[in-house]
Amino acid sequence: MIVSVSRRTDIPALYHEWFFHRLQAGEVFVKNPFNPRRIRRISLKREDVTGFVFWTRDASPFLSRLDELQGYEYVFLVTLNAYGEDLEPASFEELPAVETIKRLSARIGKENVVWRYDPIILTDRYDETFHLEAFERLAEALSPHVKKAVTSFVTTYRKNKRAFRHFGVKDVDERTKRHLAERLGDIAKREGLRLEICGEALDLEKEGLPSARCISGVYFRKGDTLPEDKNQRETCNCVESVDIGMYDTCTHGCLYCYAAGREETVHKNRNRHSPCHPSLL
């Protein structure tokens, strides 16, 4: 069983104490997002976990605790782009974020760290030139420390639809996607990176972006033998995993996020329980 930590909230950055508490306990309890009364118990014992996939904006809280993961296989998917506080109120500063990825790679190997330049949002401020310059700058800094990068074009969900209208987020047509994909692919190739596209219905392989499999058995020496996850959106290529965590608990406040809605709901959920209480996540 692959454990996804997590598509629903940033556990490594915000709930690391809770995670290691549950790891020590050997189990975690997960609420069904559509029926909160249904709670599933997930074993976190070494013999039951194929591997962990950690999704995060900031892996730094894990750096001093990696020894506690001894005996487990795992990979980090670390998101780093270059938006300002208008889209990312938490304001992840570029240089410290790059340094964290470097330190993580030095500890666990660059094959176990994937950089996500994700998602690509086009506005008057964040146009194609912005993304090409930002991606090139970050790729140059990170290419010695990661082997693979993943990107995606933003998807509109119920939780981000209002914010997108307010900030003038543009629909990206096929021609724009192909042009930008080709340019990004050229940059990645020049920097020695494999760049993949996540959750995109449009085939961009010829433009340099093969489809990504963000959760893959390849990370855990299972090859491509594991079945695809039928619980994800149709364009997702991830293999089966179980997500731990709870929606509407991430406090980063990224306006494009599909997993967190109104700020008051997020803070209510975060403050309702102790971070180490199993009912929180």
DSSP 8-state class, residue 263: H
Range in 4-13, 57-66, 81-90 with the lowest mean pLDDT: 81-90
Please report the pLDDT score of residue 275 as a whole number. 47
Tell me the CATH architecture of domain 2-272.
Alpha-Beta Horseshoe (3.80)
Please report the pLDDT score of residue 261 as a whole number. 66
Please report the pLDDT score of residue 118 as a whole number. 95
Give the integer Cα–Cα distance in Å for 201 and 160. Answer: 20
DSSP 8-state class, residue 5: E
Please report the pLDDT score of residue 20 as a whole number. 97
Per-residue confidence at 272, pLDDT binned at 50, 70, 90? low
Q: At residue 52, what are phi and psi to the nearest 5 degrees? A: -100, 140
pTM for this entry: 0.93
Query: Cβ(151)–Cβ(117) under 8 Å?
Result: yes
SS3 track for 118-140: EEECCCCCCCHHHHHHHHHHHHH
Query: Cβ(249)–Cβ(13) under 8 Å?
Result: no
Domain ranges (residues) in the chain: 2-272
pLDDT at 174 over 50: yes
Neighbours of 31 (CB within 10 A): 20
CA nearest 193: which of 273, 116, 249, 85? 116
Q: Which residues contact 182 (CB under 8 A, 6 or more apart)?
A: 207, 208
108-158 tens-digit pLDDT: 999 999 999 999 999 999 999 999 999 999 999 999 999 999 999 988 777
